[in-house]
Amino acid sequence: MWILWALSAAIAAALVIVLTKAGLKNVDSSVAFAIQSVFILVISWGVVFFQGNLDDLKEIDNKTWMLLIAAGVATTLSSLFSFKALTLGPASYVVTMERLSLVFAIILSVIFLKEKITWQLVTGAAIMVAGAVLVALSDPKE
């Protein structure tokens, strides 16, 4: 079941890139992100309320709060950087470089979460890096 959710996330992320790039034509990237953030806030808290999970807030310990806050800061920075990159380059090139986050996530997961490293994981990451290098060395025409 996780594969369906992951593929859904990938499709949604692709839509974010394309729609954001199209919407950035006459808007500063920070303003565009702020507009989207309002909807992120309303929709995500709406889901929590609709699912009846509001009481779960009091169950969260301090360490978890700190980790989630740090992840929120990283999410915000990632989005701001991505939006700025989209104002400067073609979406297909920006997203290819941005998705090197997958390789960095693999490395950080192995180091900090002690996840097992396999030859498939290493091979997949190497292919992702090779693809990003190939795109970076090409000449985008926009």
Give pLDDT tens digits for 19-56: 999 999 999 999 999 999 999 999 999 999 999 999 99
- DSSP assignment string, 14-76: HHHHHHHHHHTTTS-HHHHHHHHHHHHHHHHHHHHHHHT-GGGGGG--HHHHHHHHHHHHHHH
- Confidence band, pLDDT 50/70/90 cuts, at residue 142: low
3-state secondary structure of 86: helix
Neighbours of 17 (CB within 10 A): 17
